[in-house]
Amino acid sequence: MPAVRLDPGRVAAMPWLLRTLYAPKNRMDVPAEHLGRTYARLATTPEGPPAPYVDEDLRPVRAPAFACDDAARERLWEVSQAATGDPAWPW
Protein backbone atom coordinates (compact mmCIF):
# COMPACT_ATOMS: atom_id res chain seq x y z
CA MET A 1 0.00 0.00 0.00
CA PRO A 2 1.16 3.53 -0.59
CA ALA A 3 2.12 6.04 2.03
CA VAL A 4 -0.40 8.44 3.48
CA ARG A 5 -0.36 12.02 2.25
CA LEU A 6 0.81 14.46 4.89
CA ASP A 7 -1.51 17.33 5.74
CA PRO A 8 -0.42 20.78 4.51
CA GLY A 9 0.19 22.09 8.03
CA ARG A 10 2.63 19.33 8.81
CA VAL A 11 4.50 19.86 5.55
CA ALA A 12 4.62 23.63 6.13
CA ALA A 13 6.25 23.06 9.54
CA MET A 14 9.12 21.08 8.00
CA PRO A 15 12.49 22.63 7.22
CA TRP A 16 12.73 23.84 3.61
CA LEU A 17 14.84 20.88 2.47
CA LEU A 18 12.31 18.33 3.74
CA ARG A 19 9.44 20.32 2.21
CA THR A 20 11.28 20.21 -1.12
CA LEU A 21 11.87 16.47 -0.85
CA TYR A 22 8.33 15.66 0.31
CA ALA A 23 6.52 17.75 -2.32
CA PRO A 24 6.63 15.21 -5.20
CA LYS A 25 6.19 12.24 -2.87
CA ASN A 26 3.24 13.82 -1.11
CA ARG A 27 1.43 14.45 -4.41
CA MET A 28 1.54 10.71 -5.19
CA ASP A 29 0.47 9.58 -1.73
CA VAL A 30 -3.08 8.72 -0.74
CA PRO A 31 -5.21 10.94 1.51
CA ALA A 32 -5.53 9.46 5.01
CA GLU A 33 -9.32 9.23 4.69
CA HIS A 34 -9.04 7.08 1.55
CA LEU A 35 -6.52 4.72 3.11
CA GLY A 36 -8.63 4.59 6.28
CA ARG A 37 -11.66 3.45 4.25
CA THR A 38 -9.50 0.79 2.60
CA TYR A 39 -8.34 -0.57 5.97
CA ALA A 40 -11.90 -0.50 7.28
CA ARG A 41 -13.12 -2.52 4.27
CA LEU A 42 -10.30 -5.02 4.75
CA ALA A 43 -11.10 -5.39 8.44
CA THR A 44 -14.85 -5.81 7.98
CA THR A 45 -15.07 -7.98 4.86
CA PRO A 46 -15.81 -11.52 6.09
CA GLU A 47 -14.13 -13.21 3.11
CA GLY A 48 -10.99 -11.09 3.51
CA PRO A 49 -9.00 -9.33 0.82
CA PRO A 50 -9.44 -10.37 -2.82
CA ALA A 51 -5.74 -11.27 -3.05
CA PRO A 52 -2.78 -11.57 -0.65
CA TYR A 53 -1.46 -8.16 -1.78
CA VAL A 54 -3.78 -5.32 -2.72
CA ASP A 55 -3.46 -1.60 -3.41
CA GLU A 56 -5.41 1.23 -1.79
CA ASP A 57 -8.44 0.40 -3.97
CA LEU A 58 -8.29 -3.32 -3.11
CA ARG A 59 -7.00 -4.19 -6.59
CA PRO A 60 -4.63 -7.19 -6.60
CA VAL A 61 -0.96 -6.33 -7.04
CA ARG A 62 2.10 -8.53 -7.44
CA ALA A 63 4.06 -9.22 -4.31
CA PRO A 64 7.62 -7.94 -4.29
CA ALA A 65 10.18 -10.72 -4.74
CA PHE A 66 11.50 -10.34 -1.18
CA ALA A 67 8.00 -11.07 0.18
CA CYS A 68 8.30 -14.60 -1.22
CA ASP A 69 11.80 -15.18 0.15
CA ASP A 70 11.61 -17.57 3.12
CA ALA A 71 15.16 -16.77 4.23
CA ALA A 72 14.45 -13.02 4.18
CA ARG A 73 11.28 -13.49 6.26
CA GLU A 74 13.17 -15.59 8.79
CA ARG A 75 15.93 -12.97 8.98
CA LEU A 76 13.33 -10.21 9.50
CA TRP A 77 11.78 -12.23 12.33
CA GLU A 78 15.19 -12.72 13.96
CA VAL A 79 16.04 -9.03 13.71
CA SER A 80 12.61 -8.10 15.06
CA GLN A 81 13.02 -10.46 18.02
CA ALA A 82 16.46 -9.06 18.75
CA ALA A 83 15.05 -5.53 18.73
CA THR A 84 11.93 -6.24 20.81
CA GLY A 85 12.73 -9.32 22.85
CA ASP A 86 10.83 -12.56 22.52
CA PRO A 87 7.19 -11.46 22.95
CA ALA A 88 4.80 -14.13 24.17
CA TRP A 89 1.70 -12.42 22.70
CA PRO A 90 2.10 -13.67 19.08
CA TRP A 91 1.71 -17.24 20.22
Structural domain spans, the chain: 8-84
**Residues 32-88: pLDDT tens digits?**
889 889 889 988 988 888 888 888 888 898 888 888 899 988 998 888 888 887 766
The one-letter code for the residue type at 2 is: P
Measured at the CA of 83, the angle between CA 80 and CA 84, to 5 degrees, comes to 85
Residue 16: what pLDDT?
Answer: 92
The one-letter code for the residue type at 24 is: P
- The secondary element (H helix, E strand) that includes residue 40 is helix 32-44
**At a CB cut-off of 8 Å and minimum separation 6, what does 5 contact?**
26, 29, 30, 31, 32
DSSP label at 88? S
**At a CB cut-off of 8 Å and minimum separation 6, what does 8 contact?**
none
